[in-house]
Structure 1
Amino acid sequence: MRDHLRRPPANDPSRGAYKEWLHVNAFDHETGVIALVNVSVHGDPDAQASRAVGAALVHVPGVGWAGNAEVVPANAVGTDVLTLATAGVAVAVDPSGARVAARARLPRDQVDLSLEGVPVGPELSATSVMPFGSGHLGWAVYPRLSVAGTLGLPGRTVTMDGAGGYADHNWGRWWWGDDAGWDWACWHAPDGVLVVFSRMTNRAHTTTGLVLLTVEVRGRVVRFVDDQVLVETSGRLWPSRRLPGALAALHTDRTAERLPSRVVVHASNGFDALDLEFDVRDVAQLVMAEPAQPGFAFLHELVGAFRCVGLIAGVRVDSVGLGVVERAG
C-alpha cells in the first residue's frame, strides 16, 4: 500500500477543518512498557491560528506515565511525503509502508525515544474514508511491525529488540467539538497475534456506526463487522495524566472522566470466533482544541494487558499480550 500526506490544496474551501496525523505504538512484552507517539496538524496549515501537536507518552508498569505533548504553530511542522515533525517529536513512514520511524526528544521530561519498525505481517486493510462529524475521516493501517530502538526515560533506559508495533495514518475534515467520536484499539501478542478494533460513535458514545474488528494470526487475516462484534465494559478508572497542561487546566470538569477498567470483546461470524479480555492499567487524557472556532474534544488512551482465545481461519488462538484502547469524543 502506497500512501502520502493529504495536505489541502490552496483552493480547498474546507482548509480550516483540515486534520492529519501519523501514529505509532510500540509494545515491549519483556518489560511491559508501552509507547505512544503521534504528530498531528489541526486547521489550515498556513493559518496563523492553526496548531500542531507532537505527543510522546510512555507507560512503565508500576511507575506510570512519562513524556509529554508539545503544541506549536502548524506552519512550524516539518513535512515530507509521509512525515510530520515538530521540534521535539517526529513520525516518518516510508511511502511504500516498508519502514516506520518515531523520534522524541523531550529533555524537560527526561524522555529520549528512537524507534524503527518494519512490517512482519500482511497488509491489514486498504485506505478507507468514512463520514465523521461535519465532514469525513480517512484511515490507512500498516501491517504488524517488529520494532527496535531505545527509550531513555527518567531513571532508566529500555532497549527494544523485536518489540511489537503498530502504525496508522489519519486525515480528514471536521471540527473538534462536532457530535462525533470513536473507539479504537490495538492489541498485540508476542506470538504474532494482532487485533485491531474501530467503531464510529457520537460524542457521548451512546450510538455507534461502522464497527470493524480485524484479527491477524500467522499471516491470515479475518474481519468481523457490525453485529458480529459485541463489546462490554466494566469497572471505573480516571486519567492519571492530562495534557497539554495548559489546556487540561481549562477543563477541570473532565478530571473525573469515567472510563472502564475492563473491556471484553466477543466476535463471531459463524466460522471464526474470538473472545478477548483487556485489563486497563492506566489512562492518559489529551485535550484537542479546535483552532478555527470554539470547540474541544478529549482523547483517552487506556493501556494494559489482554488475553484472547478463539479459532481464526482454522488456527487455534490462545494468546496474551499488551494493548491500548483509545476513546475520543
Structure 2
Amino acid sequence: MTVTEDVLHRTDFLRGSRRSLGETGPYKEWHHFVVHNQGFRLIVNFSLTDRTSPQGTRTVPRVIVLVRHGDYSGTVENFDPKDCEVRTGRVAARLGPCSLELVDGAYELVVEVPAIRLRARLRLVPASTPFVVNNQPLARGSRLSWLFVPRLEAHGHVWVGDTRVSLRAAPAYHDHNWGRFRWGDDFGWVWGSVLPECSSDPWTIVFMCMTDRFRPPRCGVTPQ
C-alpha cells in the first residue's frame, strides 16, 4: 500500500450522520468528482443529506450528474435508502446503480443515469497529495470539514447517448465534504480548481474563499 492510499483510507472514509450517538443538526456529506477532457467535462456528486419532516429526520441518498459534451445536460437522482449500500468507515458507497470505491489506491466510479442517457466506468488515480481541513466554523453552531485531492488522472469510458468518450490520464479533481449546517444560514463560500491541459505540467491550483456578513472573506490558494 502506498503512502497516498494509506492516507486516503484513513481520511476519506464516509462519516455518516451519527444521529444514534446523539448528534443534532442537519447533516450533509458528499463525495465530488470532476473530470476534464478536450471538449468534455463530467461532474459526479454522491451525497447523503438529512431531511427533517414531522415524521422525523431521515438521510436522503442522492447522485448529481452534470456533463458537457457539445451541450450541457444534468440531473439530480434521489434513491430509496433500501436501494443503497452505505457503511461508515469505508471509502465506498452504492447509491442505486451508481457507486464509488477506493480500490488499490484509485477511485473506481460506476455511474448509470438513464434520465440523461449517461453511463460511465472510470478509474481515477491520485497524482497529488490529499489535504484535510477539519471543523471549520460556518454559521453559529455549524461546522464543515473537507478533504480534497487536487489532481487525479482519469481512465475509462463515458457513454453520452450513443457516443462513447474514452479517457486516458485525463485531468480530474476530487473533494469530500461533511458537516452539520443549514443551507441559507449566514455563511458563503466560493470554491474552484484549476487543472492543466497537459499532464506534464506540474501545476494544479485549488481556490477557496469563505465569508459571512460580519467578516471579510477568508481566502486560501493551494498550489501544487
Q: TM-score, normalised by structure 1?
A: 0.57
Give me the whole-angstrom Cα distance separating, in 1, the residues matched to 2:215 and 2:157: 41
Report how far residue 64 of structure 1 moved.
1.8
Q: 2:219 aligns to what? A: 211
Report the structure number with the largest CA radius of gyration.
1
Report how far residue 148 of structure 1 moved.
0.3
The answer as to 2:139 corresponding to 1:129 is no
The letter of the residue matching 1:215 is P
The answer as to 2:206 corresponding to 1:196 is yes
Q: Determine if contact 2:33/2:175 at 8 Å carries over to the other structure.
A: yes
Q: 2:152 aligns to what? A: 145
Structure 1: runs of 5 or more not aligned: 217-329
Q: 1:229-252: CA deviations, max 9, x gaps?
A: xxxxxxxxxxxxxxxxxxxxxxxx
Report how far residue 40 of structure 1 moved.
0.6
The answer as to 2:96 corresponding to 1:87 is yes
The letter of the residue matching 2:120 is L
Q: Determine if contact 2:34/2:172 at 8 Å carries over to the other structure.
A: yes
Q: 1:34-82: CA deviations, max 9, x gaps?
A: 111111111179x66432220121112xx22133210234565322412
The letter of the residue matching 2:223 is V
Number of residue-to-residue matches in the alignment: 205
Q: 2:119 aligns to what? A: 112
The verdict on how the C-alpha distance between 1:82 and 1:213 changes in structure 2, with shifts beyond 3 A counting, is same
Q: Determine if contact 1:181/1:200 at 8 Å carries over to the other structure.
A: yes
| Matched residue SS, 1:171 | strand
Q: Determine if contact 1:54/1:85 at 8 Å carries over to the other structure.
A: no
Give me the whole-angstrom Cα distance separating, in 2, the residues matched to 1:212 and 1:20: 22
Q: Determine if contact 1:26/1:147 at 8 Å carries over to the other structure.
A: yes
Q: 1:109-141: CA deviations, max 9, x gaps?
A: 2101111111222x1423432012241000011
Q: TM-score, normalised by structure 2?
A: 0.81
The verdict on how the C-alpha distance between 1:116 and 1:36 changes in structure 2, with shifts beyond 3 A counting, is same
The verdict on how the C-alpha distance between 1:208 and 1:82 changes in structure 2, with shifts beyond 3 A counting, is farther
| Matched residue SS, 1:108 | helix
Q: 181, 190, 193: which is aligned to 1:186?
A: 193
Q: 1:21 aligns to what? A: 30
The verdict on how the C-alpha distance between 1:20 and 1:208 changes in structure 2, with shifts beyond 3 A counting, is farther
Give me the whole-angstrom Cα distance separating, in 1, the residues matched to 2:159 and 2:78: 22
Q: 34, 37, 40: which is aligned to 2:44?
A: 37
Q: Determine if contact 2:150/2:204 at 8 Å carries over to the other structure.
A: no
The letter of the residue matching 2:176 is H
Structure 2: runs of 5 or more not aligned: 1-6
Displaced runs of 4 or more, over 6 A: none
Give me the whole-angstrom Cα distance separating, in 1, the residues matched to 2:169 and 2:202: 11
Give me the whole-angstrom Cα distance separating, in 1, the residues matched to 2:95 and 2:30: 12
| Matched residue SS, 1:142 | strand
The verdict on how the C-alpha distance between 1:48 and 1:215 changes in structure 2, with shifts beyond 3 A counting, is same
Of structures 1 and 2, the one with the larger relative CO (CA 8 A, separation 6+) is: 2
Give me the whole-angstrom Cα distance separating, in 2, the residues matched to 1:69 and 1:90: 15
The verdict on how the C-alpha distance between 1:171 and 1:76 changes in structure 2, with shifts beyond 3 A counting, is farther
Q: 1:277 aligns to what? A: none
